[in-house]
Amino acid sequence: MANTSDFRNGLIFHHKNGLWKIIEFLHVKPGKGPAFVRTKLKNIKTGQIVDETFRSGEKFEVVKIEARDYNYLYNDGSFYTFMDSETYEQISLTKEQVGSDNLDFLVENTEITIAFNESEPIEIRLPLHMNVKVIDTDPGEKGNTAQGGTKPAKIESGATLNVPLFININDVIRVDTKEKKYIERVK
């Protein structure tokens, strides 16, 4: 058992008959009354995000997580197949297990991390920054600058992002997978 002093971003624990991940937390010590911890939690199964407050020192059960590196191979329509980077064993996950947020940036041969709880996959972690190819966007016009504006661009995974006007088809760009934003053009 652990208590609220062990809270950290990314910690997964049992709460209200489910597994919850701490997205952010704040220890509050009011001038009057006992201290407490204000948190933002994400349900691992459903993706629901809730605000929750815990009394300082409250106990909870931490989940033992084992994370392994995998390589995304392909999607056969109903399952997404990944290969363990060390043992070369393959695992197939459903769209729900992968998570809709991750599908926006899942491209073949992407190195990812899968977190397991008692050999059951509970979370997929993409790299924070990825290089992706732009496959469709409106053409840039002469005179467009980096500060000019943005336009939608479709990347190789099928997701659409806003990019600067100077980005063209077949350009490789670096994106932030957490914020789903353009960072820079890769040379």
The answer to whether domain 66-125 and domain 129-185 are alike in fold is yes
- Look at strands 12-15 and 181-185 and give their pairing: unpaired
The 3-state DSSP composition of the chain as helix, strand, coil percent (nearest 5) reads: 5, 55, 40
Task: Please check whether residue 79 is in contact with residue 92, taking contact to mean a CB–CB distance below 8 angstroms.
Answer: yes
pLDDT at site 141: 65
Looking at CATH, the fold of the domain delimited by 129-185 is given as: OB fold (Dihydrolipoamide Acetyltransferase, E2P) (2.40.50)
What pLDDT, on the 0 to 100 scale, is given for residue 143?
59
Domain ranges of the chain: 2-62, 66-125, 129-185
Distance CA 114, CA 116 (A): 6
Q: What is the pLDDT along the chain (187 residues), one digit of tens a residue?
A: 888 888 998 888 988 888 899 999 999 999 989 999 999 998 887 778 999 999 988 998 988 888 899 999 998 888 999 999 899 999 999 888 887 778 888 888 889 999 898 888 888 888 999 999 999 988 866 555 556 678 899 999 888 999 988 888 999 999 998 888 999 998 8
Residue 99 phi/psi, 5-degree rounding, is 95, 135
Confidence (pLDDT) at 46: 79
Residue 115 pairs with which residues in a beta bridge? 67, 123
Q: Is-contact 174 186, C-beta < 8 A?
A: yes
- Structure tokens that stand for 114 in this block: 């899968």
> Going by CATH, does the domain composed of 2-62 fall within 3.30.420.40?
no
Model pLDDT, residue 122 = 85
Contact 162, 151 (CB under 8 A): yes
Which pLDDT value is given to residue 99? Answer: 78
| Beta-bridge partner residues of 117 | 120
The confidence score (pLDDT) of residue 47 equals 79
pTM of the model: 0.74
Smallest CA-to-CA distance from 122 within 147, 102, 150 is with 102
Superfamily of domain 66-125: Nucleic acid-binding proteins (2.40.50.140)
d(CA 84, CA 76): 18
The reported pLDDT for the residue numbered 96 is 82
Asked if residues 44 and 88 have their Cβ atoms less than 8 Å apart, the reply is: no
